[in-house]
Chain A
Amino acid sequence: MVQLLESLKHIEYHGVRELARAAEHFLKSTGTTQEKGTVADYPNERTIRYYITEGLLDQAIEKRGVTSIFGYDHLLTLLVIKKLQALNLPISVIKDLISGKTVEELEKLFGEEIHVFTDKKELDRFRATIGHTDDSDVVLFDHGGTIPSAPTPAENEAKEYLRSLLAERSEKPERPPARRPSTAEPRLSRGTSDWRRYEIIPGVELHVSRGFRAPKDLNWRQRVLVLIDGILDSRERR
């Protein structure tokens, strides 16, 4: 998993949608899913906007035109949030756990096995069985003795959620920047006169329009590979 993360360090994500897709792709390819049905398995555009509003996720690195640019820090934080949500931790606890963490600390949090106990005795029993007595890895939260299975109303996630629905309505769709690979479903071309076909491996062909010049930008090329990977993945699932 660490190697996989390493390969993502220099990728930029153009817009919330691309960030959501990258996180989903990563979680699917590593088999990290949520066990409980209270929170979506994968982050979507709306939840990402919500995390930004809540201060769990930093604002975009920069704006290029109307497009927000996100980076590795964002993806990593998002992966950590989903991992902690999969343990049924409420947003307020997750916020405490990740705030002020460096990239290295977040990577450690993402890579490590985490156990959640709602009872101190359970924790002690667990530590006795594995012979672990070092307190440095234990984080204590006081939630009146219980960690709620769903977000408590006091956190008022409801209001934020409804506001995000209204914000979504009023927001204009992001315009894709020039020369950016499309994130839409691949279109099948009719006729072959303007296209060249290259067999990459048996069973997989690449069709390239005659006038097309691929940018030298490595980020761009990496995104194309991620897109192809996504297409092959979605075919597998069908």
Chain B
Amino acid sequence: MDNKETYLQIFMEKERVAAYKEQTIDVLVRVVPPAVSAESGERPKLNIGIALDRSGSMDGNKMRQAREAAKYCVDELLPTDTFSAVIFDGKVDVLFTNQPATNKEMLKRGIDRIEARGSTALHQGWVQAGLQVSERLSGGGIDRVLLITDGQANVGETRTDRIVQQAKDLAERGISTSTIGIGRGFNEDLLLPMAEAGQGNAWFVEAPQDMVRIFETELKGLVAQVGHTVTLGVTPAPGVKVEDMLNDFENDASGRYILPNLRAGSPLDVLVRLKIPAGEVGEALSAANFELRYTEQATQKLVTVTAKAEVAYVTAAAVAELRTNDEVLTTVTLLTNARARKEAMEYMDEGEFDDAASILRMVATATDDAFAVTPSAELKQEIEAVRDLNRLIADRSNDMLTRKRMSYERDLRRKSR
């Protein structure tokens, strides 16, 4: 069914719960944005500012692919969109001030002239790209900086927490940030949190030839954006407690979970673990209320959507007969695996590679088990990904790549992407 409005769908771990005991239940809250495709509707106006690293390490194939990707971006823009580009090494140059994407050939010729050299003033490059974007705010469209780098911030502001905070501050002022890390030498502990705080996407380009595909995905995501500044409030009933939220989304100051931007046709799964009190057979409990709040892209109006998680108590024997919901099982597995990746990364950082490998082996077993119960496409894909990670960590041939894969896979799973 093609919906016009975003709605919430609630899946309970089991349709009923056992009476006379306190217990923990998993509730899947699926945020379903409208399924309209970007082509059929009017897409939001884009105001894109590229911050492209041209430090020495970008030389060769990486720079060639980055240029191609930037040119692809220019080609995809409409004359009503605006485009700007800054390039940075030790210093920052504005290649194109913010301008309507009308003279595309001129823009592409300029991009072709970018050569690699020098060190990496990542922060200043990002700030300057933001300034260019701020010159012509789209007013209801999407204003975004795309930061493309293969290196570590080593000139100017280099403190990760500061830069991440600034990306958050800027997003709150209307300009979001996506980051694209190329190769193995960049700092994923900066680029991932920066994109999350900046309400954009984080991309990992393992091979330079993936660059254009990543740009394509980013742009598709932008034109499909239907809501931003998205939060979910969970209000448990008296006696019910929120034990966990498996996506590990951060809370805002009022305790609401901060969710990624909503994209048409891309549901977002949030898994909440509730502790519920004992009840009598036949009793029903409205365990928790969920309230989604976001700013609608098209109108810039605040939208609120609500749903309830309801449980009915039956005998333990009756519950034993019931099957665990497939959607819940798949989501729990993917999110638990996301957490396990983080744990494995922490072991790697401490040099405990055996422990990291052992966690990944457990992840593999758990995923196989879940697949045996629910042979879903997502779990099949996860089995492949985990198998790759196990191989990488076992032969220790490229620890930096392994860590980056784990970071980005964790991020994608948390956000159902």
Contacts and interface: CB of A to CB of B under 8 A. Distances in A.
Interface string B238-262: 0000000000000111101010000
B166 interface: yes
A149 B170 contact: no
B253 A146 contact: no
A151 B174 contact: yes
B97 interface: no
Contacts of A162: 127, 130-131, 134, 170
Which secondary structure dominates where chain B touches chain A? Answer: mixed
Interface stretch (A4-12, A19-27, A35-43, A119-127): A35-43
Interface string B387-403: 00000000000000000
Interface stretch (B268-276, B295-303, B369-377): B295-303
A148 B301 CA distance: 8
A152 B174 contact: yes
A166 B127 contact: yes
Given A151-B172, A151-B174, A166-B127, A37 B252 contact: yes
A150 B301 contact: no
B229 interface: yes
A169 B156 contact: yes
A163 interface: yes
A159 B135 CA distance: 7
Contacts of A152: 174, 300
Interface in A166-193: 166, 169
B139 A36 contact: no
B134 A150 contact: no
Contact of B254 (A36, A39, A163): A36
Interface residues of B, number: 32
A141 interface: no
Contact of B143 (A149, A153, A163): A153
B173 interface: yes
A25 B138 CA distance: 39
Nearest to A35: B254
Given A34-B253, A165-B127, A169-B156, A149 B174 contact: no
B36 to A, nearest CB: 24
B252 A156 contact: no
A158 interface: yes
A81 B256 CA distance: 24
A154 interface: yes
A158 B175 contact: yes
Nearest to A145: B301
A156 B166 CA distance: 16
21 contacts: A33-B253, A36-B252, A36-B253, A146-B302, A151-B172, A152-B174, A153-B173, A154-B137, A154-B139, A156-B134, A157-B173, A158-B134, A159-B131, A159-B134, A159-B135, A161-B169, A161-B173, A162-B131, A165-B166, A166-B131, A169-B124
Interface of A: 33-39, 41, 146, 148-154, 156-159, 161-163, 165-166, 169
